[in-house]
Each structure stands twice: as C-alpha cells, then as structure tokens.
Amino acid sequence: MRLLRIAVGLVATLGLAARAGIGPAAAQEQPAQIMKVSDLRPGMRGHGLSALEGTAVHRFDVEVLGVLRGWSPQGQVVLIRMSSPLLDQTGTVAGMSGSPVYVEGRLLGAVAYGFWWCKIPLAGVTPIEEMLVARDIDLAPAAPGAGSRKAQHRDALRAKSAALWEDLRRGHRVSRDAIRQALSEMTVPPAMRESHRWGWEDMPEAVRALLPGPQAATMVPLPVPLAVGGIAPDHYRAMAPLLQTAGFFPVQAAAAAPGQPGGPRVEPGASVGAVLIAGDMDVSAMGTLTMVEGERVLAFGHPLLGSGDTDLPLAVGTAQAVVPSMLHSFRLSSADRIVGRLTQDRDSALVGRLGEESPMFPCTVNVKGAQQRTFRYRIAGYWRVAPFLTFYATALSAVRWEGEGERVTVRATSRISMKDRAEPLVLENSYATFSPMVPAFELVWMPLEALALNPFREVQFSGVDVDIQVDRGLRVAAIEAVRVGEREVRPGQTLRLWVTLKEFQGEQHVMKVELEVPRDAQPGTTADIVVCDAAGALAAEMSADPGFFQPRDFDALLAAIRHMPRSTHLYVHGTFLKRGLRYRGEAMPRLPSSVTNILSFGTESGVVSPLAEDVKLSVQTPWVVQGIVLASVLVRDTRELGKLAY
C-alpha cells in the first residue's frame, strides 16, 4: 500500500509538471552529493546558484572562510565570501535565502544569514545536513500540533482580554485608540509579531537614520522580501508600516504576470516562495529554492514564520531587479505560478511538496463613496495568516480608493462564508473615523481570528465579502460625563443615570438611562458602573474569552460574534456583587454567613470567587458614540436607607 501511494504521488507530480511547464527532469531531479561540515577547510572554493535577475539561474563564486558553531538555532553556520559582478556591488541580497552552495561539486547548504550594513558579500550557510531534518519531519507521519498551538494563542488572548477589562474598570478614561491598540495586540499572532524583528525599529526615526543599529555586528537570518504588487506607491507607503509591525520586510514589486510556457523552472537557485494574496493585489514572500528531491523541495535555510507545520501555496517566481542598499540590498521579485504547497516552516528550512494544493479563498471588497469600485482577491487559507491577510486586503481596498486623513463616517458589512455551513456569518457596524480602513479591523480581522482559533472545530473559510459605504463628515458624539441620580441604592431599585454627549463641532445632549439593581445585590458592597462606546463594550465581552464570550460550542461562538456591539449605541455595564459565592465554578447564593466565612478564608487559591451579576443595557443614538466614563454606587440595606424620596 505504501508503494502504491508513492507511485500515485509520483504520477500526480509528473502530471502537474507537464501542465505547468516544469520539465520532467526538474520534477524528478535528484540532489547532488552532500558536503558535510566536518569535511570543510578554510579556503575551499565552490559556487552558488541564484535567480537574481529574470528567471535564469546565475552562478556566483564562493570561498569558505570558516565554521561558526553555536551561532544559529541549528548549532552551526558556515561563513562564506561570495563573488560575482553583481554581488560585488550589492553585497549579500535579501531574497537569496535558500541559494544552494556547492563545494567540490557537493551540496553544502543554503545561503541564509547575513550582516546589516555589510559592504561586501559575506553570508552564512545553513548546512544541508540540518535542512534535511526538516525534510525528515515532513516524511514522518503527521503529529497533532495545530490544536496545541491554537490553544496557546487562545490562552494568551484570554489573559490579555481579562487584563484590558480590569484596566477599564479601574481607570476613569480610556481612549478608543488605546483600546484598539490593546485589541490589536490580542489578535496579531505572536509568531507574526516576533519573527524577523529588526531590533531597532522602536528607536526614534531621527536616531535610526544616524546609527547602524546593534545588528551591524551580528549575523541574522536574511530578511525575506514580502513583495507587494498591484498598488500605487502612495498606498503602499500607507500600509507598509502595518506589514512591518506584523514581522515582514515589505518591498514594492511589479504585479505578478500570468505564467507563460518556458517561464521559471523548479530547479535549485530558482526564485520560490509563499503566495499570500493574489488578484487585484499580489503579496508573496519570496526566497530561493535549495534542492529538489522527487516531489519535495527545500528552500530558504531559515524559517518564514516559524510555525512548524504550515500550509501555504508554493510558487516559482521572476526577479525584476536587485536594489543595492547601504542597510541591506534586496531582490524585487514576484510569484509567477503556483506549483505546490509549503508543508514545513522549520528553523533550518522550508519544505514544499510539488503537485499538491494549498487552500485559498476568494475575498471581494465593494467600496462606495465618491465613486464605486470592486476589488477581488484570493487569500491563503492557512489559519495563522488568513485573518491578518484578509484584513490587509480589505483595509487597503478602502484606503487606495478613498484615501486617508479625511473626516468620514463609514457603514460596513462583512459576510464570512465557511465550508460545511450553508449561511454566512453577517456582521455590520458604523464608524466615524479619519481612515476608511477601520471597519476591516472589527468586521474582518477579529471575527476571522476568533473563528480560526476556536477550540470546537476546524474552520475552512470559503469566502469573505465586504461592503464599505463612505460618507464625508464625522457624525460622532463623545461621552463627556455621567451623573448618577443616587449614590446609595438598595436591591431592586432603579438606578437613574444622566449621560452627557457632545457632538463633533456640535451641541451637547443629555440622555437619561435607567439600570435595574439586582434584587439579591449584596448590601455593603460597591457596584462599578461603566458607560462606554462599542469598543469598551467589546472589551468587556472579550474579558471572558477570545471568542468574545465563553461559548460552550461552535454555534454559541457564532451567536456571540453576531452580537458584536453597534457603534451607534450607548452602553451601560454595571457589576453588582451578590449574596453568596462561587465555589469551584458553582454558584452558591444561599449559604449561611458562617459557611461563607469558612470558604472565603480557605487556603486553596482559585477555588472560591465572589458571586456577581452583570447588568447591561444599550441605547441607540443618531451618532457614532465614542468614549468611556466610570462611576460607582454603594448598595445599602433597605433598613439602613429608610424610606427613599424620589
């Protein structure tokens, strides 16, 4: 049976090669003999291969300078000096990651490391012996791992969301921007935030312009150029910082051209990488192919996202040019055609399988404003990147047609379709902002992230459609103050609140809202009252779980996401402590005082917690509401208050 599967896989690979213009020799190419690091001596010479311009693979000379042990996560890196008419001018080029290096006709490994600000082509080579470890992992039976990685993300989100809500309850004012920043930190996958960090990007720009940075004396993995094509320079510059924050090295490149017969071959030295977005905008992370072994290929010599098991479209590409730079020269390249899928993203290499398909889903964005425009994309469906990439495509669609910096009110609707579910998840909201990209965060990124990380079932997205209506002017009102009708209340009483709202460049308005105090509220306790906008309400909902509540199953999660707070509503959230306590998660409201005291002073931490009831209400307004104000009231026993006059 195993031989049958191998034979079927080989036939499928050869069939793809014939259709995609990959020569049979390339599809079945066998690797050269391996040069072991233990056999190296300083001064040994060889050559390397890399497609630095066009699709043709160019040869460059190599001299071995030594072996650096303990330098990389894999344990050792071979230091080499490269030489060619181009490399002598540019130094080591970002995008060469994976370029195979041969010494005495044997494959030594892949160019993978370099120095910032280096004026000569010095590079570090990941030994092929270590790259083959990634191949062996791919050959082994798949081990369950995605579930545990998703669980780690969920735990991190839960802790951060709880901390955010606690900050809201303790402070008097928290800006909307601060909440968005905190929510953004919750949703960006940690690996994306930390991978390929430059280390000095947090310094002031004026200082960075004068200093080479600490990496000047440290060998680091070569940055992987994230080629962004199909957009104007102004729009690229507006969005590039977002990609840098996510851990990428973005460069503007030409849009990918349709694959042509006789185009780039799948061979050592060819430009290869992961296709992330295709269509009206192209985004691909491009490096170089190291080795072809049957239906498997090795590339890069270092990780892309460091995700371990992965599932991204694998493409061969075309290099437009090499851009010399004092900081780090880089290659402009773009994906030409998809030839397989990446399955491993390990410390020592990327592993791909030719002839296999990686899921991608369509994304359509309709922008209506001064004009109407529709953008169409295909997004890589891998759970770790799909939410961010869909957000990026949606946000850029709005920005590149309507621009940024103008006062606008945006009404947006998103429809998220999933395989095996007949009806899409539909979300809508309104926003007053200076950037029409804002809806993409709350209506695209956050729900996709919650769905991708959900603990109930695997989700495959089958499509995302977004409608964005942009109107000039800010129809917004800020929460200025709240006045509490009674500072001391009794259980069962109606608490009256007067909320002052101030229109942008307009009048003040006072709204009266009433909140019912629970009949079993504990006398002698203080209740926190939060009057807030949709962002504050969303933070409260996320405090229990990154799925916005703590759903019991997948349908409950969908229901929670559908009830996303509306920006045109004013929200009031009161937390009242109740009689009794919660022991091991079970509510015990009628315990005698003696038992309550014994349990409350127990020695087992985390077992006993206060019993509380959250009372919430929302009031629709004609504006987009912004701001958060806190108040508090004291719950008194009726006998202590006597008769209250109203």
Any idea how long the chain is? 646
| 156 has pLDDT over 50 | yes
- For residues 195 and 269, which has the higher predicted lDDT (pLDDT)? 269
pLDDT tens column, 207-238? 445 444 444 567 888 888 888 887 777 666 66
Give the rounded percent of residues in the chain with a pLDDT score beyond 90: 37
Cα(157)–Cα(180) distance, rounded to whole angstroms? 14
Phi, psi at residue 624, to the nearest 5°?
Answer: -80, 120
Distance of CA 221 to the CA centre of its chain: 21
91: left (phi over 0), alpha (psi -120 to 50) or beta: left
Q: Is the pLDDT of residue 109 over 80?
A: yes
List of residues 6+ apart from 495 with CB closer than 8 A: 484, 485, 486, 489, 514, 515, 516, 517, 529, 574, 633
Residue 442 is classified by DSSP as: I
CA 81/CA 188 separation, integer angstroms: 38
Rounded alpha-carbon distances, angstroms, from residue 448 to 172, 246, 461, 497, 522: 31, 16, 9, 36, 40
More confident residue, 38 or 185: 38
Q: What is the mean pLDDT of residues 276-280?
A: 93
Per-residue confidence (pLDDT) for residue 202, from 0 to 100: 47
Assess whether pLDDT exceeds 90 at residue 126.
Answer: yes
Report whether pLDDT(59) > 90.
yes
Most confident of the ranges 168-172, 273-277, 469-473: 273-277
Give the global pTM: 0.74
Q: What is the pLDDT of residue 544?
A: 41
Q: What is the mean pLDDT of residues 189-204?
A: 41
pLDDT confidence of residue 569: 93
Q: Which residues contact 642 (CB under 8 A, 6 or more apart)?
A: none
Average pLDDT taken over every residue of the chain: 78
Report pLDDT digits (tens) over 393-447: 998 888 775 556 678 888 999 999 999 899 999 999 998 877 767 788 889 988 8
Average pLDDT over residues 620-645: 78
Q: How many CB atoms lie within 10 A of CB 507?
A: 8
Query: Quick one: what percent of the chain has pLDDT higher than 70?
Result: 70
Query: How far apart are the C-alpha atoms of 52 and 490, rounded to whole Å?
Result: 76
CB contact at 8 A, 360 and 398: no
pLDDT in tens, 350-376: 999 999 999 999 999 999 877 789 999
What mean pLDDT comes out for the span 542-556? 63
What pLDDT is attached to residue 14? 31
Mean pLDDT (whole number) for 137-143: 81
Closest by Cα among 173, 405, 140, 166 to 296: 140
pLDDT of 231:
78
pLDDT tens for each residue of 178-194: 545 554 454 444 333 33
Confidence of residue 172 (pLDDT cuts 50, 70, 90): very low
Lowest mean pLDDT among 149-153, 309-313, 429-433: 149-153
CA distance 598 to 541: 32
The answer to whether the beta carbons of residues 22 and 339 sit under 8 Å apart is yes
Q: Where do the structural domains in the chain lie, given as residue ranges?
A: 1-141+217-233+246-358, 361-472, 476-641
The rounded distance, in Å, linking the Cα atoms of 88 and 326 is 13
Q: What is the mean pLDDT of residues 281-305?
A: 93
Identify the weakest region by mean pLDDT among 146-160, 169-183, 523-537, 551-565.
169-183
Q: In this structure, how many other beta carbons lie within 10 angstroms of the beta carbon of residue 227?
A: 30
Residue 545 is predicted with a pLDDT of: 45
**What is d(CA 267, CA 270) in angstroms, rounded to the nearest whole number?**
6
Q: Provide the token pair at 345.
A: 């993203």
**Residue 240 structure tokens:** 């590039």
Phi, psi of 90 (to 5 degrees): -100, -20
Q: What residue type is assigned to position 514 of the chain?
A: E
Q: How does DSSP classify residue 37?
A: G
> Tell me, what DSSP letter sits at residue 34?
B
pLDDT at 582: 58
The residue with greater pLDDT, 225 or 96, is: 96
Count CB atoms within 10 A of the CB of residue 481.
15
